[in-house]
């Protein structure tokens, strides 16, 4: 069977060390979008590494400038086998976070990929270290190697394929929305299948059929000009920190449960609940560094998998009142909480802030302002139901 032969081909590519060499070569290009001085490396990654690789697999490639001057270029590749075949669209990003040279354990260089060794924490001989191995050079390298294995065995994929590689993901994917809109026809496809995210556990391959969206917003309260001595005014004037804390407490409970129904999903689809009943969440020492899951945190009556994949979460990302760096005996006149709602696809994020505004007014917090963050960050949610024909 060609499937088994392709798997054997991919296995040999890995076991021979060829895949390690490919990924090491890509890691060696310090393509950090977070470091302005490394801007030329973003172009080099696409020109010297991705373009030759994709063209060797029969793809037509084009590198496009970013419509946003702050961002790096885009590469669009297409392999057209038959217009009547379905088209699979894949995504990856070749930019990485800054290297943090000098801060890696055991003196490792972020741009030199190495195999791990034995440490105080145990045997790490099966781990590879280097900037981008886990986000996202490793992932799209795996996908390209898989395509190569299929082509080597049967000479064709059996579907059309389009690939988009961006070089600005680690700085918020600036220009991506505009680029996708401008190239809508060029990027049309029947199925998106991309790799950029965690596994449930290091030894468990994971297919995510959607993602919660994210809406970032601010709650602010500005009561007066300047702080006033707590010895003279404590008990006489309102405290911005106290007011804001109590306003938050009407929205999210002490165990992280969302108290405002308008911010919660209406229900979990039966097919989603069925799939998640078989999912065991990782966490703790054996999860690759993740924290222990708190069974009693979040919406009561839901499993950990349901809470993180099928329910909404209200998170306070940061909060400030007064001057935390130089605390004074003064009643803070203003306070800010930077918050985020992670939401499922069945909720319209445009309704969240009006619902919060109405809720705070109803509870007497007219002095707390509600507004989207200045960068307007909002990521849409997606979901492909497990009983959808594509999945079946």
Q: What is the pLDDT of residues 173-208, one digit of tens each?
A: 999 999 999 999 999 999 899 998 777 877 778 888
Residue 359: pLDDT above 60?
yes
The Cα 304–Cα 271 span in angstroms is 17
Beta bridge partners of 382: 211
Cβ-contact 140, 128 below 8 angstroms:
no
Cβ-contact 329, 205 below 8 angstroms:
no
pLDDT value of position 215: 94
Give span(s): CATH 3.40.630.10, the chain: 2-192
Share of the chain above pLDDT 70, in %: 95
pLDDT band for 117, please (50, 70, 90 cuts). Answer: low
Among the listed residues 167, 145, 146, the one whose alpha carbon sits nearest the alpha carbon of residue 93: 167
Give span(s): CATH 3.30.70.360, the chain: 211-383
Residue 277: pLDDT above 60?
yes
Sign of the CA dihedral with 20 first, then 26, 30, and 32 last: negative
Q: Which CATH architecture has domain 2-192?
A: 3-Layer(aba) Sandwich (3.40)
| Mean predicted confidence (pLDDT) in 104-120 | 84
pLDDT value of position 289: 63
pLDDT value of position 207: 87
Distance (Å) of CA 129 to CA 15, 104, 123, 145, 370: 18, 10, 14, 19, 43
Would you tell me how many other CB atoms lie within 10 Å of the CB of residue 272?
21
* pTM of the predicted model over 0.85: no
| Mean predicted confidence (pLDDT) in 34-54 | 98
pLDDT band for 285, please (50, 70, 90 cuts). Answer: low
Strands 191-192 and 87-93: parallel
Q: Produce one character per residue of 26-60: b if its CB has 16 or more CB atoms within 10 Å, e if not.
A: bbbbbbbbeeeebeebbeebbeebbbebbeebbbe
Q: Just give the CATH number of 211-383.
A: 3.30.70.360
| Backbone angles phi and psi of 28, in degrees to 5 | -65, -15
SS (H, E, C) 58-82: CCEEEEECCCCCCCCCEEEEEECCC
């Amino acid at each position: 069977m060609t499937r088994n032969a392709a798997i054997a081909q991919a296995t040999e590519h890995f076991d021979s060390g060829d895949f390690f060499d490919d990924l090491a070569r890509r890691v060696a290009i310090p393509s950090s979008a977070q470091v302005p001085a490394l801007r030329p490396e973003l172009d080099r990654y696409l020109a010297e590494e991705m373009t030759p690789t994709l063209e060797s697999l029969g793809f037509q490639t084009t590198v496009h400038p970013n419509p946003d001057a702050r961002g790096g270029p885009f590469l669009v590749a297409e392999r057209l086998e038959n217009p009547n075949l379905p088209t699979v669209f894949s995504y990856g990003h070749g930019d990485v976070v800054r290297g943090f040279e000098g801060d890696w354990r055991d003196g490792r260089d972020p741009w030199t990929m190495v195999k791990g060794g034995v440490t105080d924490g145990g045997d790490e001989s099966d781990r590879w270290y280097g900037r981008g191995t886990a986000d996202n050079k490793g992932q799209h390298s795996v996908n390209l190697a898989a395509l190569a294995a299929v082509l080597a065995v049967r000479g064709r994929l059996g579907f059309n394929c389009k690939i988009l590689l961006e070089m600005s993901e680690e700085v918020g994917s600036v220009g991506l929305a505009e680029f996708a809109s401008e190239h809508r026809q060029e990027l049309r496809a029947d199925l998106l299948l991309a790799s950029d995210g965690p596994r449930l556990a290091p030894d468990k391959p994971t297919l995510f059929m959607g993602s919660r969206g994210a809406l970032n917003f601010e709650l602010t309260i500005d009561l007066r000009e300047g702080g006033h001595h707590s010895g003279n005014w404590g008990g006489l004037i309102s405290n911005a920190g106290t007011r804001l804390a109590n306003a938050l407490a009407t929205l999210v409970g002490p165990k992280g449960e969302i108290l405002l129904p308008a911010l919660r999903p209406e229900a979990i689809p039966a097919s989603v609940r069925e799939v998640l009943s078989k999912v065991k969440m990782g966490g703790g020492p054996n999860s690759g560094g993740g924290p222990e899951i708190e069974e009693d945190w979040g919406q009561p009556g839901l499993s950990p998998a349901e809470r993180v994949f099928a329910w909404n979460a209200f998170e306070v990302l940061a909060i400030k009142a007064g001057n935390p760096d130089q605390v004074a005996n003064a009643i803070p006149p203003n306070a800010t909480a930077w918050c985020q709602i992670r939401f499922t696809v069945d909720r319209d994020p445009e309704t969240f802030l009006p619902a919060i505004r109405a809720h705070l007014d109803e509870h007497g917090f007219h002095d707390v302002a509600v507004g989207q963050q200045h960068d307007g960050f909002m990521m849409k949610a997606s979901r492909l139901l497990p009983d959808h024909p594509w999945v079946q």
